[in-house]
């Protein structure tokens, strides 16, 4: 899995490519489709990050020993503390 930053850079690259005046309609459509898929994955990543932030915000003292929140950032199942996003 690419990092969010890598995905963002790729999305920016696709956006710039689509804006070129010499790009064919077919290539622009391919780039657009790839960008839509990429943006959807990035949205899921942001949702998981938001879940992690919410967990941290709800912990009274999240950094105390023994009170660390248990979650799996960017888990395959899309779960945070056993809850599905």
- Taking only the tens of pLDDT, the chain with its 85 residues reads 689 999 999 999 999 999 999 999 999 999 999 999 999 999 999 999 999 898 888 877 756 666 565 666 555 554 444 444 4
Tokens of 45: 């990543």
Q: Which residues are within 8 A (CB) of 38 and not within 5 positions of it... i.e. 6 or more apart? A: 7, 10, 11, 14
Tokens of 83: 């809850």
Q: Is the pTM for the entire model greater than 0.85?
A: no
The rounded radius of gyration (Å) of the Cα atoms in the chain is 18
On the 0-12 / 13-18 / 19+ scale of CB atoms within 10 A, 11 is middle
């Amino acid at each position: 899995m690419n990092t969010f930053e890598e995905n963002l850079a790729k999305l920016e690259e696709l956006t710039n490519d689509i804006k070129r005046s010499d790009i064919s309609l077919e290539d622009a459509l391919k780039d657009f489709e790839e960008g839509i898929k990429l943006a959807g994955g990035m949205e899921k990543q942001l949702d998981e990050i938001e879940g992690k932030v919410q967990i941290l915000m709800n912990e009274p003292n999240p950094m105390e020993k023994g009170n660390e929140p248990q979650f799996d950032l960017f888990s395959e199942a899309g779960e945070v503390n056993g809850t599905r996003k």
